[in-house]
């Protein structure tokens, strides 16, 4: 089974790379043309020469404790906590300004008690961790230096699949390493590295030690921060991931200014569109974000959005899924206005969203569900019960009314469609469900081939689950 690895290692043998970034107003990405193989080679060589001086190495130290152990001098059954010991690691990143700001990954310097930065010319500096953001895996380190070489920022939104890129860092302790490849995909989410994911995927070989290093186009413009690889062994197999420069730059600027990342917040729970849900909601394509719940007085509610609305465009840009919409809103400045194109009951509408600041707590993620197998009735094999206060306490439910799934038959159509014990049914086929009597009245007429579209509350999150009979 393929595993996901961060691109740095907490072992002495691997080196952290950091990449120096240009300051405000540096050149943005632009189209480039290569007329021959020789031209491409010369351009790659020129890019490597240009960016390598901006790539630095970071050695990081954290304090760790081994598992507690028994001690014969202590009474029976007691354990002694071992003393803390130092553990060393190394990885990659980029200087954001000539006066010593460096961008890297959060996982490179998280909990570090000592940070040492080594420039390409082998000068060494003590580094100070300015601030970190685990939700994007971005961190900023500062060194006391001036007139440092920097890499120009690029516009990651212009990246296209097939575009040439270079990965520059210190993989496996080999400093100033350059590898070459293409953009394999953009907009990768659900990789499992951070809360906010919109990764660039590349086949440019990258290995442990590349974390925080630069992903640049052939013009030498920084388009990504290398972060992780998918690999069964921990080595490069041509599947690497980088944080887009636009996301990394926005996070970095907020970290420097406020010490944290200020994000926009939709104020609504959403889920992805499946082929069946696209048919149910009469959508032209299998994309968009379905609104499943609204926060009182949140941005979405103030914009007039309703449950079951499907957001298909944000400021004219297609919304691919719920994660994409979340990222678009999160990267928007607080108080800015944005046009949403939505589909409601098969008809197109527009709404104006004024972005509010996200709450400090970690946002919860809503997953969608699919419908497969068939049974004699779409809901056959499921045991429902009224939600009562005692039952809510017993099952640790977040609501005190409705109908809850208390048991579900293994292999049933409902189970294969994603329904789970503990789900509280709020609607059946867009009709509200307040108690079991109402639910039974709505469910009894369903035939084996009918659709049962459930809106459920699962641990505080609302989501649609379509169960399609055959």
**Is a pLDDT exceeding 50 seen at residue 100?**
yes
pLDDT given at position 20 = 43
Let me know whether 216 and 346 are in one domain: no
- The three-state secondary structure class of 245 is helix
Closest by CA position to 102, among listed 136, 55, 59: 55
Query: How many domains, in total, are found in the chain?
Result: 3
Do the bridges between strand 3-6 and strand 222-231 make them parallel or antiparallel, or are there none, so unpaired? antiparallel
Domain boundaries, position 338: 264-357
**Is a pLDDT exceeding 60 seen at residue 366?**
no
Give a yes or no: residue 141 inside a domain. yes
- The answer to whether 377 touches 286, Cβ cutoff 8 Å, is no
Mark 42-73 as b/e (b = at least 16 C-beta within 10 Å). ebbeebbebbbbbbbbbbbebeeeeeeeeeee
Taking the C-alpha atoms of residue 216 and residue 238, their distance in angstroms, rounded to an integer, is 17
Let me know whether 254 and 305 are in one domain: no
Highest mean pLDDT among 31-45, 103-117, 335-349: 335-349
pLDDT given at position 69 = 53
CA 395 to chain centre: 30
Let me know whether 282 and 236 are in one domain: no
From 11-25, 300-314, 436-450, the region with the lowest mean pLDDT: 11-25
Contacts of 56 (CB under 8 A, 6+ apart): 17, 18, 19, 20, 93, 95, 102, 117, 118, 119, 120
Let me know whether 282 and 313 are in one domain: yes
Alpha helices in 74-122 (DSSP H): 106-109
pLDDT given at position 12 = 38
Share of the chain above pLDDT 90, in %: 36
Let me know whether 167 and 285 are in one domain: no
Predicted confidence (pLDDT) per residue in 267-295, tens digit: 998 999 999 999 999 999 999 999 998 98
- The answer to whether 238 touches 229, Cβ cutoff 8 Å, is no
Predicted confidence (pLDDT) per residue in 411-455, tens digit: 788 888 889 888 899 999 999 988 888 888 888 888 888 899 999
Highest mean pLDDT among 68-72, 228-232, 426-430: 426-430
Residues labelled as active-site residues: 107, 137, 211
Tokens (6 digits) for 10: 């907490």
Largest Cα span, the chain: 78
Last residue of a domain, one of 197, 229, 261: 261
Taking the C-alpha atoms of residue 57 and residue 173, their distance in angstroms, rounded to an integer, is 9
**Is a pLDDT exceeding 90 seen at residue 464?**
yes
Let me know whether 317 and 395 are in one domain: no
Let me know whether 83 and 222 are in one domain: yes
Let me know whether 352 and 393 are in one domain: no
Let me know whether 275 and 191 are in one domain: no
- Output the domain CATH number for residue 430: 2.30.42.10
pLDDT given at position 72 = 53
Cα–Cα distances in Å, from 333 out to 296, 298, 315, 324, 351?
Answer: 21, 16, 14, 16, 18
Q: How much is the pTM? A: 0.65
């Amino acid at each position: 089974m393929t595993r996901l690895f961060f691109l740095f290692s907490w072992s002495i043998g691997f080196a952290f790379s950091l990449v120096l970034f240009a300051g405000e107003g540096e050149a943005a990405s632009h189209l480039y043309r290569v007329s021959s193989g020789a031209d491409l080679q010369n351009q790659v060589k020129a890019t490597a020469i240009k960016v390598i001086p901006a790539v630095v190495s970071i050695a990081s130290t954290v304090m760790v404790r081994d598992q507690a152990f028994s001690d014969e001098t202590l009474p029976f059954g007691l354990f002694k906590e071992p003393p803390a010991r130092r553990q060393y690691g190394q990885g990659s990143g980029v200087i954001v300004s000539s006066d010593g700001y460096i961008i890297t990954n959060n996982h490179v310097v998280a909990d570090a008690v000592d940070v040492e930065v080594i420039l390409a010319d082998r000068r060494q500096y003590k580094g100070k961790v300015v601030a970190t953001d685990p939700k994007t895996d971005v961190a900023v380190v500062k060194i006391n230096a001036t007139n440092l070489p920097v890499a120009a920022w690029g516009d990651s939104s212009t990246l296209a699949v097939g575009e040439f890129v270079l990965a520059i860092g210190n993989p496996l302790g080999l400093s100033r390493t350059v590898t070459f490849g293409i953009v394999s995909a953009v907009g990768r989410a659900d990789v499992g590295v951070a809360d906010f994911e919109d990764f660039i995927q590349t086949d440019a070989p990258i290995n442990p030690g590349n974390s925080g290093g630069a992903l640049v186009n052939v013009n030498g413009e920084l388009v990504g921060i290398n972060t992780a690889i998918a690999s069964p062994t921990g080595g490069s197999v041509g599947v690497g991931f980088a944080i887009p420069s636009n996301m990394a730059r926005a996070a970095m600027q907020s970290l420097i200014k406020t010490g944290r990342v200020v994000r926009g917040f939709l104020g609504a729970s959403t889920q992805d569109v499946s082929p069946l849900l696209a048919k149910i909601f009469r959508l032209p394509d299998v994309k968009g974000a379905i609104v499943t719940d609204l926060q009182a007085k949140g941005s979405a509610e103030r914009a007039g959005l309703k449950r079951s609305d499907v957001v298909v465009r944000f400021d004219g840009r297609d919304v691919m899924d719920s994660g994409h919409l979340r990222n678009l809103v999160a990267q928007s400045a607080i108080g800015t206005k944005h046009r949403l194109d939505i589909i409601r009951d098969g008809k197109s509408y527009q709404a104006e969203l004024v972005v509010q600041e996200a709450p400090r707590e970690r946002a919860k993620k809503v997953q969608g569900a699919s419908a497969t197998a068939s049974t004699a009735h779409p809901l056959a094999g499921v045991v429902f019960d009224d939600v009562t206060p005692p039952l809510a306490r017993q099952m640790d439910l977040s609501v005190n009314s409705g109908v809850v799934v208390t048991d579900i038959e293994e292999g049933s159509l409902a189970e294969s469609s994603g329904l789970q014990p503990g789900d509280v049914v709020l609607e059946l086929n867009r009709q509200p469900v307040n108690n079991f009597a109402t639910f039974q009245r709505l469910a009894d007429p369903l035939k084996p081939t009918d659709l049962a579209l459930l809106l459920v509350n699962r641990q505080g999150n609302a989501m649609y689950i379509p169960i399609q009979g055959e």
